Amino acid sequence: MNKKQAKERIEELRKQVEYHAKKYYDEDKPEISDFEYDMLMVELRNLEKEFPELITKDSLTQKVGGNVKEGFQKVTHEVPLQSLQDVFSIEEVKDYIEKIEQKAEENNIKQVTYVVETKIDGLSAALEYKNGQFVRGATRGNGAVGEDVTRNLQTVKTIPKKLKDPIDIIVRGEVFIAKSDFEKMNQEREENEEELFANSRNAAAGSLRQLDSKITEKRPLDIYIFNVQKIEGKEFHSHYEELEYLSKQGFNVNPVRIYCKTRQEIEKAIQKIGEERETLTFGIDGAVVKVDDLKFREILGTTAKTPRWAVAYKYPPEKKETKLKEIVCQVGRTGVITPMAILEPVKIAGSTISKTTLHNEDFIKEKELKIGDTVVIQKAGDVIPEIVAVKKEKRTGEEVPFDMPTTCPVCGAPAIREEGEAAIRCTGIECPAKLFRNLVHFASREAMNIDGLGENIIAQLLRKELIKNIADIYMLKLEDIASLKKNGQKFAQNLIDSINKSKENDLHRLITALGIRHVGTKASKLLARKYKNIDNLMVAELEDLSAINDIGPIVASSIREFFQQEQTKDLIEKLKKAGVNIQAKEEENSDNRFEGKTFVLTGTLEKYTRGEASNLIEKFGGKTSGTVSKKTSYVLAGEEAGSKLTKAQNLGVTILSEAEFEEMLH
């Protein structure tokens, strides 16, 4: 490769690593594996080594990745939190040790000792203590400047608030989430159909860097301390001695630290950690070799980015081949149908894998998966197993293509995939898999507004099998609810009253509560106004529905399909028998002064909430929108109106004050 080619490739690599570093360090949402990122860095580092004249100060090979997140105070580290030089083979470890031994010989040091530790897969942080009291905690950031996350770190139970000795000390540790806790978090997120954390490191980083410490407190964060950054009034001779002292002070010190005297012992330690990594309760992404003698460390010094007295050996990701025996489909709480691969059990990275998610229909098509295929499995981040490839050359012709179901595997209702979406969803309102979410929505404030019937109570009612469908809410007895709480009579009576009150709700609330896809509060009001009762709406033709302003063909189709289902008809009959109102209560309004007018609300109004103002506009035949355009008739601007007001001024849209709006109402 000539210099011109090298320059082009270096520039390309820098763009890639900067993009992925931002995703990893700043957004905690990596798009590639650690190994893939490491390989990009290795290629960049090797090219810069071959063409040193092309090295620039802003290259990520010369500095630590990561920036301070907006909303956090900046902390300048008294002692920089540097990153480690990575190596990927035992040969590179040997080369590193040889250089250290050569440097020792030059300085008349007869014996060099080392400590080999686990490289914990988490987020680095510095903890500062004054007179033995925890006073401040900060993330690594870019190594020189980090984020003040003191309040968040105070929620981590394994961080001592007070040390045994009244010392001034700064220590460095790795904040992480244990494997079992991580798996539990992802399982809960999968059930709630939330985006899964890519790996435990990103889960820990995202949890620690929350602007709201109450969110952090709910996350199972832990920490292992692995270094003394600075200490006043006490001197140590070795790193191992430091760690022993920190342990006695009450710190949760990295539990895997192997004292070594020779290169052979170092290699055995690395091998031992690699063999036992799956038995560890926490995730690791390598082993760190550190020079033990602190005075020799001073002689070795550091570069701008890394210490010369330590190196990190990265274990390669393990891949195995196995058979894809079957594909089964699971239904999540919101009705998303997710395909799951059932595999011939295979041991990888120390654990036996027998199944893994296939995400969605597009993933199966992209990989061209067939039942019976030989597939390659890898554990992403050494935690989540995934299919990374299909061995098509091993096909026998007996493999069977897989098609996603057209009906829900749990309840048999139609399963649909809408345009622009990757997910296929169950549409059945009585589907047992969706029941929890359907109940939560039905009782919510914007729907039937059943005060006291929140997620926790619904979960208890389901667990005790006191409700098995939505209509069962209206069959609950006082004693059933009272049994959920100690001295729960008053709570039970209040909830019964709220349930009974909800029977009298206007029709539009019931339509909202049914959770018809694409039908929110505004559309529910339009439907209630036009059809007057639920029976008329249930038999409404597609053409009539599509003709309603702001409904459109997609929403109309969703409404029609929903009411044609047997599950929907069954639920409506049950609600009628329970005494739930199915009639529109709103009187015919002949005053349509705002007909054909579109309002956009911005800022804070003095007399009305936005919801109240919207209701008034709709009452007089107008409609509201969330965005300003040339078609907007008026922008109702309250205090602290923002960009919408500016856009309206630029477009020449009429801007109303609250007083002017009131004049229009009277």
Tokens of 384: 């989540």
Look at the block and give the residue holding tokens 């007089």.
Answer: 620
* Sequence ranges of the domains in the chain: 3-54, 74-313, 319-401, 428-577, 598-665
From the candidates 23, 49, 119, 577, which is the catalytic residue?
119
Positions in the chain whose pLDDT score sits under 50: 382
**What counts of helices (H) and strands (E) characterise the chain?**
24, 24
The CATH class, in words, for 3-54 is mainly alpha
Q: Which residue, among 45, 41, 43, 66, has the nearest Cα to 55 in the 3D structure? A: 45
| Contacts for 499 with CB less than 8 Å, ≥ 6 apart | 450, 453, 473, 474, 476
CA–CA distance, 240 with 245 (Å, rounded to integer): 9
| Contacts for 613 with CB less than 8 Å, ≥ 6 apart | 601, 605, 636, 661
- Helix, strand, coil shares of the chain, percent, nearest 5, are 40, 25, 40
**Alpha helical stretches, state H, 192-293:** 200-208, 213-218, 239-248, 263-276
| CATH of 319-401 among 1.10.3720.10, 2.60.120.330, 2.40.50.140, 3.40.50.10440 | 2.40.50.140
Asked if 29 is an active-site residue, the reply is no
Q: What size, in residues, is the chain?
A: 666
Tokens of 558: 């969703």
CA–CA distance, 278 with 350 (Å, rounded to integer): 5
Q: Are 90 and 314 in contact (CB under 8 A)?
A: no
| CATH of 598-665 among 1.10.3720.10, 3.60.15.10, 3.40.50.10190, 3.40.50.300 | 3.40.50.10190
pLDDT at 316: 79
| Contacts for 384 with CB less than 8 Å, ≥ 6 apart | 186, 196, 198, 199, 356
Q: Does domain 74-313 have CATH number 3.30.470.30?
A: yes
pLDDT at 165: 95
What are the beta bridge partners of residue 370? 401
pLDDT at 199: 75
- Ordered DSSP codes for 141-172: TTSSEEEB-HHHHTT-TTS-SB-SS---EEEE
Q: Which residue, among 390, 386, 387, 404, has the nearest Cα to 329 in the 3D structure? A: 404
Q: Which residue, among 564, 559, 565, 531, has the nearest Cα to 546 in the 3D structure? A: 559
Q: Which CATH architecture has domain 428-577?
A: Orthogonal Bundle (1.10)
| Contacts for 446 with CB less than 8 Å, ≥ 6 apart | 512, 521
pLDDT at 586: 62
Phi, psi (rounded to 5 degrees) for 69: -75, 140
| Contacts for 180 with CB less than 8 Å, ≥ 6 apart | 281
Q: Exposed/middle/buried for 320, CB within 10 Å: 0-12, 13-18, 19+?
A: middle
Per CATH, 319-401 and 598-665 having the same topology is answered no
What are the beta bridge partners of residue 284? 120
